[in-house]
């Protein structure tokens, strides 16, 4: 019987079936950061346990670090305390920390693929829900909590149930000005924010096959926003080309052997799925969220839907969303005024994202009264962008050019919304309070749309600027 990537990777990493009926699953790569790990290391110390396979864990600093001056000690004493704990724990347990001094620091989901730590056929866990990002190379990669981080450190394993598998087929040519971000927002809009609960997503179809690796990373990143704990794309020539020459990837003849194995884990023709969903890419327009979860979105040319047009049990959430956002049902999303523009995050903080945003930034200047931040996803992304002069394009247009980190995606450093500010954001969550202000408001969209909104001072259709 034809097997899926999920079948093959799951089986290869199964240590045993536990008495509970769940799988004891070996974790091939464990990524950690400063926010969700100090309690795990403390538990490990209390249990007098060592890290089982220290060479399979890599750490970085991303969530709490400032994006202005990154020299320590950090101005925020709580952030400094978390960083100090990270340094001490990594040293005490003999683990590799990719900090600023290495030149390889960045958002954990940006640096994993960038350094070739993330490879096809692996199981990958990290104390962060956007670990689903790494599925883009054909890995089974998912977020875990802190007590599970302890288990991976102590045992290199997790107790897991294998999910069902839904193939999400995206077909057709993406129109100009429509990107991977719009595809995943459209998928979430169509299947719902809980549509993926109990499922993993296999993204397939000619649109996905044509996507670059960076586009696939954006696609898989927001699997979790659709309720799926992980999503993946089958490894192909794009995957192999992307990985060639990266620091943690084998070289020479070993690379060719690796590539052969990577390709072998892909889903076989004729494999069966528990469900199949389809999306017509050619029919898409730029997508903008208007509400308080990432499923509440419309095309940029559309109007905000009315609660009464929703299923009965969704209406109260829709009314709450309209009240929080200060929108009226039936209002066009185009023209909604913004105060802040943010390009960055593990969703859209890679070089290709910055190139697209810079292309738009050339068309004008940031509107008066709008605070616009460009936050590269990693030190290497920043370096590559600066080598191309992108930072100068941004600065000339009035955007602030920052250092790498999670920044305003979740507002754990100084990069926060103030009061009811409205943000156009290339990040992944528009939850109430997400960007650091309890009353702040977030509109999710592609980096191109964020840059366009920064210039217009309001939500606008980037396709008109790219003409």
Partner 1 sequence: MTTNYQRRELAGRGIPVPGNDIDTDRIIPARFLKAVTFEGMGEHAFEDARKQNPEHPFNSPAYQGASVLVVGQNFGCGSSREHAPQALMRWGIRAIVGGSFGEIFFGNCVMLGIPCLVASQADLEWLQKAISLNPQIPVAVDVEKQEVHFSDRVIKATVPDGPRNQLVAGTWDSTAVLLEAGAAIEATAAKLPYVKGF
Nearer to partner 1, 352 or 428 (CB): 428
The residues near 324 (Cβ < 8 Å, ≥ 6 apart) are 292, 432, 439, 441
d(CA 184, CA 461): 18
User: Percentages helix, strand, coil for the chain, rounded to the nearest 5?
Assistant: 40, 20, 45
Interaction mask 53-72, partner 1, x per CB under 8 A: x--x------xx--------
- Residue 214: name the closest of 12, 450, 447, 45 by CA: 447
Tell me if 146 contacts partner 1 by CB under 8 A. yes
| Backbone φ and ψ of 106, nearest 5° | 165, -175
Tell me if 115 contacts partner 1 by CB under 8 A. no
Cα separations (Å) of 292 from 301, 317, 405?
20, 9, 24
Tell me if 243 contacts partner 1 by CB under 8 A. no
Interaction mask 393-412, partner 1, x per CB under 8 A: -----------------xxx
Q: 329 with 284: CB under 8 angstroms?
A: no
Tell me if 116 contacts partner 1 by CB under 8 A. no
Q: Which stretch binds partner 1 (CB under 8 A): 11-19, 65-73, 356-364, 450-458?
A: 11-19
Token readout for 202 is 């296999």
Binds partner 1 (CB under 8 A): choice among 2, 50, 102, 161: 161
Tell me if 96 contacts partner 1 by CB under 8 A. no
Binds partner 1 (CB under 8 A): choice among 121, 138, 231, 349: 121
Tell me if 147 contacts partner 1 by CB under 8 A. yes
What is the layout of strands, in order, in the sheet containing 57-60? 96-98, 57-60, 29-33, 123-126, 140-143
Binding to partner 1 in span 357-376, by CB under 8 A: none
Q: Is 456 helix (H, G, I), strand (E, B) or coil?
A: helix
Q: Which stretch binds partner 1 (CB under 8 A): 124-132, 300-308, 369-377, 452-460?
A: 124-132
- Residue 435: name the closest of 368, 350, 354, 338 by CA: 338
- Residue 248: name the closest of 109, 111, 93, 89 by CA: 111
Tell me if 218 contacts partner 1 by CB under 8 A. no
Nearer to partner 1, 194 or 383 (CB): 194
Q: Say whether the peptide bond before residue 73 is cis (omega within 30 degrees of 0).
A: yes
d(CA 166, CA 175): 25
Binds partner 1 (CB under 8 A): choice among 193, 213, 306, 329: 193
| DSSP per residue, 136-155 | GGT-EEEE--HHHHHHHHHH
Tell me if 194 contacts partner 1 by CB under 8 A. yes
Binding to partner 1 in span 273-332, by CB under 8 A: 292-293, 313-314, 316-317, 320
Tell me if 452 contacts partner 1 by CB under 8 A. no
Q: Least distance to partner 1 from the beta carbon of 14, Å? A: 7
Nearer to partner 1, 133 or 207 (CB): 133
DSSP 434: T
Binds partner 1 (CB under 8 A): choice among 128, 202, 353, 461: 128
Q: Least distance to partner 1 from the beta carbon of 111, Å? A: 18
Tell me if 258 contacts partner 1 by CB under 8 A. yes
Tell me if 198 contacts partner 1 by CB under 8 A. yes
Binds partner 1 (CB under 8 A): choice among 104, 105, 148, 347: 148
Cα separations (Å) of 100 from 55, 59, 246, 328, 376?
20, 12, 19, 45, 14
Nearer to partner 1, 47 or 283 (CB): 47
Nearer to partner 1, 34 or 182 (CB): 34
d(CA 147, CA 50): 15
Tell me if 36 contacts partner 1 by CB under 8 A. yes
Q: 83 with 71: CB under 8 angstroms?
A: no
Tell me if 22 contacts partner 1 by CB under 8 A. yes
Q: Which stretch binds partner 1 (CB under 8 A): 81-89, 94-102, 202-210, 326-334?
A: 81-89
């Amino acid at each position: 019987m034809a097997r899926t990537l999920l079948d093959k990777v799951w089986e290869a990493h199964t240590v045993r079936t536990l008495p509970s009926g769940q799988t004891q699953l070996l974790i091939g790569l464990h990524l950690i950061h400063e926010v969700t790990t100090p309690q795990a290391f403390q538990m490990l110390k209390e249990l007098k346990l060592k890290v089982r396979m220290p060479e399979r864990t890599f750490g970085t600093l991303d969530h709490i670090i400032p994006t202005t001056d990154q020299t320590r000690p950090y101005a925020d004493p709580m952030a400094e305390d978390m960083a100090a704990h990270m340094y001490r724990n990594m040293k005490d347990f003999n683990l590799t920390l990719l900090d600023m001094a290495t030149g390889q620091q960045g958002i954990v989901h940006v640096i994993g693929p960038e350094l070739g730590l993330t490879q096809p056929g692996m199981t990958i866990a990290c104390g962060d829900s956007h670990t689903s990002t790494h599925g883009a190379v054909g890995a089974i990669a998912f977020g875990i909590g802190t007590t599970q981080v302890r288990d991976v450190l102590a045992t290199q394993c997790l107790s897991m149930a294998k999910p069902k598998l839904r193939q999400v087929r995206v077909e057709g040519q993406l129109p100009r000005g429509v990107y991977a971000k719009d595809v995943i927002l459209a998928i979430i809009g169509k299947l719902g924010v809980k549509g993926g609960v109990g499922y993993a997503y296999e993204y397939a179809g000619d649109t996905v096959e044509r996507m670059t690796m960076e586009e696939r990373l954006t696609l898989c990143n927001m699997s979790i926003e659709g309720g799926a704990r992980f999503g993946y794309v089958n490894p192909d020539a794009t995957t192999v080309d992307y990985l060639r020459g990266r620091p943690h990837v084998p070289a020479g003849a070993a690379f060719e052997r690796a590539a052969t194995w990577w390709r072998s884990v892909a889903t076989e023709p004729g494999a069966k799925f528990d469900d199949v969903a389809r999306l017509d890419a050619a029919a898409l327009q730029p997508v903008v969220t208007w509400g308080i979860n990432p499923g509440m979105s419309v095309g940029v040319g559309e109007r905000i839907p009315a609660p009464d047009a929703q299923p009965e049990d969704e209406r109260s959430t829709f009314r709450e969303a309209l009240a929080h956002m200060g929108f009226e049902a039936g209002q066009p999303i185009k023209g909604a005024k913004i105060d802040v523009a943010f390009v960055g995050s593990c969703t859209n903080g890679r070089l290709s994202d910055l190139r697209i945003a810079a292309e738009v930034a050339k068309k004008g200047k940031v509107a008066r009264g709008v605070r616009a931040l460009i936050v590269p996803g990693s030190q290497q992304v920043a370096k590559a962008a600066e080598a191309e002069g992108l930072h100068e394009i941004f600065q000339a247009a009035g955007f602030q050019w920052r250092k790498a980190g999670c920044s305003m995606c979740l507002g754990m450093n100084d990069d926060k919304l103030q009061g009811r500010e409205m943000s156009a954001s290339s990040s992944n969550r528009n939850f109430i309070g997400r960007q650091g202000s309890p009353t702040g408001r977030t509109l999710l969209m592609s980096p191109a749309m964020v840059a366009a909104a920064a210039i217009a001072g309001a939500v606008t259709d980037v396709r008109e600027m790219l003409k």
